[in-house]
Structure 1
Amino acid sequence: MSYDDLVGEALTVPFEGWDFGVFRGRMIEESGALPWSYEEMVKERLPYAGSLLDLGTGGGELLASFAPLPEGTVATEGWAPNVPVARKRLEPMGVRVVEVGDDDRLPLPDRSFELVVSRHESYDLDELRRVLKPGGTFVTQQVGGADLAEINTALGAEPHEYAGWDLASAAAQLTEAGFEVSWRGEAKVATVFHDVGALVLFLRITPWHVPGFDVERYGDRLRALHEEMRAGRPLTAHAHRFALIARPVS
């Protein structure tokens, strides 16, 4: 496909929830290379959890895959277009989906959940401590501040505003807030973009990655990347991930 065709498709193709099937074979993330499995960490704890809160559920795809879920499971979502998608998927399973704002405040009662999980979602430490039951557990996998930094470099864009967000800073914040971190891990794994359309679509659905991204503004850089990719030289970037398991100290 031509540059114009790839970019035109990327700007118009429907995308909902966090179903990355549209990227299959075009953007390849070696997520299996992580030395831990977030999914397994959650699954291991579900049989012992009488209540569950999923922060930033997206379209509910991952949470639904954990079924059967504890009775009264609640999911939050802060991106308005995802809320009806998540409700359509999760409410028939008995999961309540709560829309939240950018401040990470949780309109939920104190001490409501034995297990709180968060995959790539921000959280407020005071709110987290408030909604966890005594002895409860927090499991999270986060996107680090060095995530796919090679994209920003290739486009001549500014680095992430959250460049300092990493395992050490997250663990220190949790400890200072009265949590005990029982496990932690951090890694970088390759993510390969094989065509410029996949890159543009990725930046379209992650507007925080390159704030103000516009195909006209970055047209020269994108066209240069397109020629490199056509010549068999895809753009390789590195996903920065870290994960923690913690519980509030009584």
Structure 2
Amino acid sequence: MTEQEFYDKVGKTNGWDFSAIQCISEGVEWDFYGEVMKKSSSSHILLDIGTGGGEKVLKIAGSFSLIIGIDNSKEMIHTARTNLEKSSAANVRFFQLSAETLEFPKGFFDLASSRHCSFNALELAKVLKKGGYFLTQQVSEGDKLNLKKAFGRGQSFGEKEGSLKEMYIRDLKAAGFSKVAAFEYDADEYYKKPEDLIFLLTHTPIIPNFGEKPGDLAVMNAFIEENLGEQGIRTNSKRFLLIAER
């Protein structure tokens, strides 16, 4: 299964809505879309890259004049449009588009956001107004580290910590963003039941081909036994946040 096929499968299943998972986090230092709203105005237009099922932007629709959410996955956009129909938001639109080519007028957006999705800094610089902001939250290389070590594989496993953050900062500065502020946290996560953790691993690329390799079940059972405590099954959530001014 290719990465695109994987994302289409997840989009059809739940649109990246993991709200049913019972998980406690300790040490999370920001709420990403809360940070986006801090830069918002009722007259602003927001571009959300990698919008998934649109759940996040539909919740903040009242803070903007218009929100346009894009995703490369057909199934994700189908889910987002279904969620839009169920909502009361009249100022949100979803389109299947690649972040590599942003087909919008120059300087059209006041703000742009990208949560756990890659982006093209040069394209963003074209469609953002001067003085506008781009905010992105990304998964750090050290995320879910004890899980990756247990399975001997995983998303960005073995890569140098901070490499992705440094690359994105360089790209944004080269594209003409005048200021780039960086933040990060490494929070503890506790999943209440094995089913909660298994759902996460089944619907994300954290452990590639989770459950399909011989021995995965035995590794999972050993991991749960070793990391189960009073609050649940412990792992970590490592994230970085970039706020760039155009």
Cα offset, 1:136, TM superposition: 1.7
CA contact (8 A) 1:186 1:241 kept: yes
Question: What residue number does 2:64 align with?
Answer: 70
CA contact (8 A) 1:166 1:242 kept: no
- State the distance in 2 between where 1:168 and 1:174 align: 10
Instruction: Sort the Cα spacing of 1:95 and 1:151 in 2 relative to 1 into closer, same or farther, 3 A.
Output: same
Question: What residue number does 1:3 align with?
Answer: none
CA contact (8 A) 2:155 2:208 kept: no
- State the distance in 2 between where 1:135 and 1:232 align: 48
Cα offset, 1:182, TM superposition: 4.6
Question: What residue number does 2:97 align with?
Answer: 100
- State the distance in 2 between where 1:247 and 1:156 align: 39
1:144-202 superposed Cα distances (whole Å, 9 cap, x missing partner): 12211221111222562693444333323322322122532111101123433222211
Q: TM-score, normalised by structure 2?
A: 0.80
| 2:236 maps to 1:241 | no
For 1:150, give the aligned amino acid. Answer: N
Structure 2: gaps of 5 or more residues: 1-11
Instruction: Sort the Cα spacing of 1:225 and 1:177 in 2 relative to 1 into closer, same or farther, 3 A.
Output: same
CA contact (8 A) 1:194 1:229 kept: no
Question: What residue number does 2:77 align with?
Answer: 83
| 2:156 maps to 1:145 | no
Query: Given the alignment, which residue of 41, 51, 55 partners 2:45?
Result: 51
CA contact (8 A) 1:140 1:245 kept: yes
Query: Given the alignment, which residue of 118, 121, 143 partners 2:114?
Result: 118
Question: What residue number does 1:8 align with?
Answer: none
Query: Given the alignment, which residue of 126, 129, 138 partners 2:125?
Result: 129
Instruction: Sort the Cα spacing of 1:231 and 1:117 in 2 relative to 1 into closer, same or farther, 3 A.
Output: closer
Cα offset, 1:106, TM superposition: 2.3
Q: TM-score, normalised by structure 1?
A: 0.78
Root mean square deviation of aligned Cα = 2.8
Query: Given the alignment, which residue of 156, 176, 191 partners 2:174?
Result: 176
Cα offset, 1:78, TM superposition: 2.5
CA contact (8 A) 2:36 2:113 kept: yes
**Count of residues paired in the alignment:** 229
Instruction: Sort the Cα spacing of 1:69 and 1:231 in 2 relative to 1 into closer, same or farther, 3 A.
Output: closer
Cα offset, 1:87, TM superposition: 1.2
Question: What residue number does 1:192 align with?
Answer: 190
